[in-house]
């Protein structure tokens, strides 16, 4: 589309009370700014981000996900304020949509509504019961006359319930003409972008309000706002997946990050957390399991299992209190209480309760490789690096310190000793 998008993100975000730049705070696993850019990308390729505080950090984080974003550092000392932010920026297209970096819930659909209204400036307006903190919008005969910031408003103006949501569509000529004309003669000594409205109005340009829903234009200024935005984002993510055919039990208790993918009919029980780059295909995840950066296919996971990054699990059953990390399991049963890390386990193998792959010697990590049809008895420790070939039985309680050949039994046990009547000697006869 022939529109450029500018995202204002130079503010410090003081109210977040955090050393992390505001726009890098995460919502559903991705930085706030990620969600905005993702939607903006659906509209245009000309996206400019205006930064200042921790600019390098923000830029690095964005470049992990997106290409071809223009970064501009605001001259905050000489030109502070939202009007200062847009000075001297060259936009490719004739219309510029201005977004805020702390508005993670805005969608492509909401952005498109600005393009349906024909005016020199279209600006977002929300009607709020409690308008405090926002710039008030003075509307007359369906046109916006001016915006008055809370800090500059008198009593009467403060009563206005129509507020500026902070998103605008400008014609390029308007920005070119009026940006150099706004002054910083106000309570905050800042160059307010909003002052363009009255300047343009005075010269007869048309400025139309676009009434929008608070939910989509919610600004995140505090950690309470952050958690509220998270709830809305989660609701959207889960509703989308349920529409795609995923069954969710008590979805309010389920957390699914942006970027997780489901395929075919999957079922997710309550309390499940699925994070990162996880792909789940035709599988069931039972209650309170946690899965991160893994692939799960035709399998059942949990309840209360933890699948850590780099795992690839297919045709398998992973039961309660099993932790899997960076392991490839194909056709495996690990029903209870095990740690399987840096391992490869093949078809038909059964991992007994209490099995541990001892993958770390305090310095480095090593692999455990288990072939087909291996029966690993309960309470086995596999001291990696170690390789168990096909068709092996490992007796319960064994510590496996060397490779085991195909078809063998491996057993390491202290022989059992019994002392008759020891109980009675120790505790006495009793009843």
369 binds, among Ca ion, ligand UD1, none (CB under 5 to 8 A by kind): none
- If phi > 0 it is left, if psi is from -120 to 50 it is alpha, else beta; for residue 304 that is left
Instruction: Give, as one character, the DSSP assignment of residue 186.
Output: S
Task: Compute the distance between CA of residue 33 and CA of residue 106 in angstroms, rounded to an integer.
Answer: 11
300 binds, among ligand UD1, Ca ion, none (CB under 5 to 8 A by kind): none
Q: Where are the beta strands (DSSP E) in 74-115?
A: 95-100
CB of 379 to ligand UD1, least distance (A): 56
Task: Compute the distance between CA of residue 305 and CA of residue 338 in angstroms, rounded to an integer.
Answer: 10
Among the candidate windows 89-97, 186-194, 266-274, 363-371, which touches ligand UD1 by CB under 6 A?
186-194
Among the candidate windows 72-80, 290-298, 337-345, 398-406, which touches ligand UD1 by CB under 6 A?
72-80
Please, which residues bridge with residue 178 across strands?
A: none
Residue 131 engages Ca ion in binding (rule: CB under 5 A)? no
Name which of 320, 381, 375, 377 is nearest 348 in CA terms. Answer: 375
Q: Where are the beta strands (DSSP E) in 101-228?
A: 121-127, 136-140, 143-148, 162-171, 207-211
Minimum CB distance to Ca ion smaller for 100 or for 300? 100
Name residues contacting ligand UD1, limited to 146-165 (CB under 6 A). 147, 149, 163-165
Minimum CB distance to ligand UD1 smaller for 194 or for 338? 194
Among the candidate windows 74-82, 267-275, 282-290, 298-306, which touches ligand UD1 by CB under 6 A?
74-82
Name residues contacting Ca ion, limited to 168-227 (CB under 5 A). 219
CB of 38 to Ca ion, least distance (A): 20
Residue 101 engages Ca ion in binding (rule: CB under 5 A)? no
Residue 219 engages ligand UD1 in binding (rule: CB under 6 A)? yes
336 is catalytic: yes
Please, which residues bridge with residue 311 across strands?
A: none
Task: Compute the distance between CA of residue 241 and CA of residue 226 in angstroms, rounded to an integer.
Answer: 23
Per-residue x/- mask for ligand UD1, residues 6 to 45, rule CB under 6 A?
A: --xxxx----------------------------------
Per-residue x/- mask for ligand UD1, residues 164 to 183, rule CB under 6 A?
A: xxx-----------------
Task: Compute the distance between CA of residue 252 and CA of residue 270 in angstroms, rounded to an integer.
Answer: 8
Scored b (16 or more CB within 10 A) or e, 69-102 reads bebbebebeebbbbbbbbbebebeeebbbbbbbb
Among the candidate windows 3-11, 54-62, 203-211, 282-290, which touches ligand UD1 by CB under 6 A?
3-11
| Residue nearest ligand UD1 (C-beta atom) | 135
CB of 131 to ligand UD1, least distance (A): 9
Residue 342 engages ligand UD1 in binding (rule: CB under 6 A)? no
50 binds, among Ca ion, ligand UD1, none (CB under 5 to 8 A by kind): ligand UD1
CB of 219 to ligand UD1, least distance (A): 4
Scored b (16 or more CB within 10 A) or e, 40-66 reads bbebbebbbbbbbbbbeebeebbeeee
33, 193, 212, 233: which one binds ligand UD1 (CB under 6 A): 193
Minimum CB distance to ligand UD1 smaller for 119 or for 137? 137
Minimum CB distance to ligand UD1 smaller for 10 or for 97? 10
Minimum CB distance to ligand UD1 smaller for 50 or for 369? 50
Scored b (16 or more CB within 10 A) or e, 285-299 reads bbbbbbbbbbbbbeb
Query: Which residue is it, tokens 């002052």?
Result: 195
State both tokens at 354.
Answer: 């209490």
Where helices occur in 216-374 by DSSP H, the ranges are 223-243
Residue 31 engages Ca ion in binding (rule: CB under 5 A)? no
Give the number of other Cβ atoms within 10 Å of residue 161's Cβ: 13
Task: Compute the distance between CA of residue 31 and CA of residue 23 in angstroms, rounded to an integer.
Answer: 6
Instruction: Please pick, among 53, 93, 228, 336, the residue that the annotation labels catalytic.
Output: 336
Residue 286 engages ligand UD1 in binding (rule: CB under 6 A)? no
Q: Where along the sequence are the contacts to Ca ion (CB under 5 A)?
A: 219
Residues noted as catalytic: 336
* Residues in touch with ligand UD1 (CB under 6 A): 8-11, 50, 74, 76, 80-82, 84-85, 100-102, 134-135, 147, 149, 163-166, 192-194, 219
């Amino acid at each position: 589309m022939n529109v450029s998008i500018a995202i204002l993100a130079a503010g410090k975000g003081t109210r977040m009370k955090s050393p992390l730049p505001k726009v890098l705070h995460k919502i559903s696993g991705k930085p706030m700014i990620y969600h905005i850019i993702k939607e903006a990308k659906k509209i245009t390729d000309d996206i400019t981000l205006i930064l200042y505080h921790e600019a390098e950090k923000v830029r690095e984080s964005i470049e992990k996900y997106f290409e071809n974003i223009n970064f501009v550092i605001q001259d905050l000392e000489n030109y502070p304020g939202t009007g200062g932010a847009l000075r001297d920026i060259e936009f490719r297209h004739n219309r510029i949509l201005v977004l805020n970096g702390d508005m993670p819930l805005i969608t492509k659909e909401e952005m498109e509504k600005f393009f349906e209204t024909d005016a020199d400036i279209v600006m977002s307006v929300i009607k709020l019961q409690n308008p405090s903190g926002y710039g008030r919008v003075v509307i007359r005969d369906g046109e916006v006359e001016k915006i008055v910031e809370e800090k500059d408003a008198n009593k009467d103006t403060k009563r206005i319930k129509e507020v500026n949501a902070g998103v605008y569509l400008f014609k390029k000529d308007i920005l070119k003409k009026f940006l150099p004309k706004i002054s910083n003669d106000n309570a905050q000594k800042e160059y307010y972008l909003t002052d363009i409205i009255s300047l343009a109005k005075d010269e007869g340009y048309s400025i139309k309000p676009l009434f929008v829903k608070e939910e989509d234009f919610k600004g995140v200024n505090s950690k309470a706002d952050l958690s509220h935005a998270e709830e809305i984002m989660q609701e959207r993510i889960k509703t989308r997946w349920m529409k795609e055919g995923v069954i969710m039990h008590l979805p309010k208790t389920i957390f699914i990050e942006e970027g997780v993918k489901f395929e075919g009919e999957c079922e997710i029980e309550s309390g499940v957390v699925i994070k990162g780059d996880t792909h789940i295909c035709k599988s069931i995840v039972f209650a309170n399991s946690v899965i991160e950066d893994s692939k799960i296919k035709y399998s059942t996971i949990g309840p209360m299992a933890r699948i850590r990054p780099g795992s690839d699990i297919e045709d398998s059953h992973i039961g309660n209190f099993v932790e899997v990390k960076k392991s490839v399991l194909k056709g495996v049963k690990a029903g209870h209480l095990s740690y399987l890390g840096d391992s490869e386990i093949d078809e038909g193998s059964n991992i007994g309760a209490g099995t541990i792959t001892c993958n770390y010697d305090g310095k480095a990590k090593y692999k455990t490789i288990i072939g087909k049809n291996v029966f690993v008895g309960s309470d086995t420790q596999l001291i990696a690096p170690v390789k168990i070939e096909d068709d092996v039985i490992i007796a319960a309680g064994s510590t496996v310190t060397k490779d085991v050949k195909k078809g063998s039994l491996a057993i390491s046990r202290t022989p059992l000793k019994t002392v008759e009547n020891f109980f009675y000697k120790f505790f006495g006869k009793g009843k």
